[in-house]
Structure 1
């Protein structure tokens, strides 16, 4: 694939005969992105990606050897988990079929919806997590904790990959039930007895992993021990390699290789025009990488500090402390959005069409939210504290940045057809048959 970035009109001129194979519509949107090229992505070696594939699916990274990265980011579920709020530690099964383990009931739900992983290896992705608490600003990496560990990672995606193992509800484990969960609660991450070092030692203790790390990283072959940063780097390499998504019908259209359906074309015109979706969902991956308050319903444990009361999730405000960032969350990419539900930072809508309609009129839909839209396996926890509080709902309502509106059903149909044209579910390395630890994992 060429590394030259060209606009759509030039692309079609250069293709000549290929462009003449279909009749181009008049009045194409002026703000269509350029076709995605190799230059949009950071380089990845296949050897590192293959090592990362094994680590991604291996439960050895969790405190109780029962949770892998793929538990909440499974390729069968659009690199998410099909749940509004995930269930890591204490869960049994995959996706919407996951239930609480009667012998080890989770302490709480994971507080936010598991985000999809598509195209996170692209250069423009500089903010990770719904609130952007891991970000690269002017070339400087910003993270919520201070640790020399972050000087060892390869980039922002590898930085993101280091955090789920530090969450007791995701991968760490319940209070005092394993060395990792104890280290996490003591705030010990690096160094002897630290969480990351404990995991690295477990991995290094498996001869097959030791050999594979030596084959990929020369300094380990020369005698340096395996660090958790190496594990994070390999997992990041796998995610960047495996989940690069740039061959959807929309991509082929931008490259002048094929036409979209009439309905998808209508939806594209709406998306980049009258409907205003591209105001935030701009660029080649349909995101401005910014943060917006869109009035999504909030449920589950929230993201408050240990000493605070309530179950609020105030989004970007918790990172910046700026009042204008209250209840603002990162604009997600829409690549493969048809596969990645439930939708919203708390997964408030399991159905994409329902989410789209609600997104157009956030105030009305917040006030009239129906709880059946969420996919929440039963747990003995209080999920609806915020939605039961008039004051909390009013606070979310007051932060909404846009006015409510509606579109005719035919236009919703067209937008849905365009969103379907963004689907390209890549399968390169796939799911391994086994992992070096010998532990079982969800396939």
Structure 2
């Protein structure tokens, strides 16, 4: 009996030691990997700054800035900005969907519902819907961290490259674009050049907005008041743009696992995420996706499969194709080039690429599908090889390596909104008295 108990004790001791050795081996392996990452790419482990860069005329030092953010939020959620008074910015950029909408191509004028449940209906004055009509020709990115987008060379830090084709260079300028788009917000209420001015004229008829603009721009209003001009003159395109941008700029994220790791917390990333981080550098992903925002905001030809209406869209005499930045510059070398997106918050902002994968064999609905696209060398569009960027070639990654890369990309998602200046909740009412989008719980809070 004693010998039996003694053998049982020895057996348990052996198993215990074996388990301990295995655990130590894993820890040693992870410690070695962490040390390799920090010694080899330490200068590329860049955490986000506490706040985005602010333009001098639209910063926390500006008089009325907190009231300006409140005004920008009201405008963001108010359908009064649209020609038919039926769609707001938040219908396509809702907090419940990480300030996006979770669908490939957004539905603007005449849309009903939110996110994946949003559907097209006939807008006023329309007898029938043409194919793709009143849908955005490109995927609508999330507003999160757009205030941190890097500028084109030579521009100021707050003049970030906006839109898939880079046609605007600040949040202030970006805020005017959707108002001019027939499919997104304008419909046929007025011509595109007059859209922002017409919206401002409507805002001037709403007393609460006059009060809010005066509080948001006290210095500007003091000049209007001194000149004896109408109070409503405080509402103009410039102040409208600054207000919306002030709200959007505060939608910056904080405390992603990667940022904690970059600041020295070795435990912030899992072993799989660390392997994915090493692989990210090994295969050269940082050639385009560098810096704190994991993008150089340059323009690249990847050969992403085209679906949807193209740009210009089919119903506006397009051919279903989208030539990307070429439509903005008309330079032949810009054909099929689109802005490199930031990799921040990817786990909250599917689907991906400029089409969102709609109507294509490429799909692009998940991060794994995006990694598989690059692993096979891209070019689902089958454009001529001379137009592709040189790095678009098969990578030969195995399933585990692709899983690790996806795990790392997920570590770039913030865990909260960094700004304490904004209320991230959807308002239950807006100054126009129109119905704001439905209240859904924000995916991130502050």
User: What TM-score results when the alignment is normalised by the length of structure 1?
Assistant: 0.76
- The answer to whether the aligner puts 1:41 opposite 2:56 as a matched pair is no
- The answer to whether the aligner puts 1:400 opposite 2:400 as a matched pair is no
Alignment of 1:77-96 (within 5 A): 77-96=97-116
Bigger radius of gyration, 1 or 2? 2
Q: Is there any run of 5+ residues in structure 1 with no aligned partner, and where?
A: 1-21, 136-155, 176-180, 367-392
More helix by share: 2
1:93-148 CA-to-partner distances (Å, cap 9, x unmatched) read 1111111115656551211000122222227242110010113xxxxxxxxxxxxx
- For the aligned residue pairs, the C-alpha RMSD in angstroms reads 2.3
CA distance in 1, matches of 2:378, 2:150: 31
Q: Which residue of 2 aligns with 1:127?
A: 161
Q: Which residue of 1 aligns with 2:183?
A: 169
2:300 maps to which of 288, 292, 295: 292
2:400 maps to which of 399, 402, 410: 410
Pair 1:277–1:99, CA change in 2 (3 A): same
CA distance in 1, matches of 2:318, 2:90: 32
Q: Which residue of 2 aligns with 1:113?
A: 139
Instruction: Give the superposition deviation at 1:309.
Output: 4.9
Alignment of 1:115-264 (within 5 A): 115-122=141-148, 124-125=150-151, 126-135=160-169, 156-173=170-187, 175=188, 181-184=189-192, 189=193, 194-218=194-218, 219-220=220-221, 222=225, 223=231, 224-241=233-250, 243-257=251-265, 259-264=268-273
Instruction: Give the superposition deviation at 1:165.
Output: 0.7
Q: Is there any run of 5+ residues in structure 2 with no aligned partner, and where?
A: 1-29, 152-159, 226-230, 358-363, 440-446
Whether the 8 Å CA contact 1:361–1:404 is kept in 2: the answer is yes
CA distance in 1, matches of 2:138, 2:384: 16
Whether the 8 Å CA contact 1:58–1:68 is kept in 2: the answer is yes
Instruction: Give the superposition deviation at 1:213.
Output: 0.8
Instruction: Give the superposition deviation at 1:66.
Output: 0.8
Pair 1:56–1:351, CA change in 2 (3 A): same
- The answer to whether the aligner puts 1:55 opposite 2:78 as a matched pair is no
CA distance in 1, matches of 2:307, 2:46: 38
SS in 2 for 1:182: coil
Pair 1:58–1:329, CA change in 2 (3 A): same
Q: Which residue of 2 aligns with 1:434?
A: 429
Whether the 8 Å CA contact 1:295–1:396 is kept in 2: the answer is no
User: What TM-score results when the alignment is normalised by the length of structure 2?
Assistant: 0.75
Whether the 8 Å CA contact 1:295–1:362 is kept in 2: the answer is no
Whether the 8 Å CA contact 1:80–1:114 is kept in 2: the answer is yes
Number of residue pairs the alignment of both structures matches: 359
4+ residue runs over 6 A deviation: none
Instruction: Give the superposition deviation at 1:308.
Output: 5.8
Q: Which moved more, 1:283-292 or 1:408-417?
A: 408-417
CA distance in 2, matches of 1:123, 1:132: 11
CA distance in 2, matches of 1:248, 1:416: 15
Q: Which moved more, 1:164-173 or 1:261-270?
A: 261-270
2:278 maps to which of 269, 274, 294: 269
Whether the 8 Å CA contact 1:51–1:234 is kept in 2: the answer is yes
Q: Which moved more, 1:420-429 or 1:230-239?
A: 420-429
Instruction: Give the superposition deviation at 1:307.
Output: 8.2
Instruction: Give the superposition deviation at 1:261.
Output: 1.3
CA distance in 1, matches of 2:318, 2:199: 33
Q: Which residue of 2 aligns with 1:357?
A: 372
Q: Which residue of 1 aligns with 2:361?
A: none
CA distance in 1, matches of 2:432, 2:384: 45
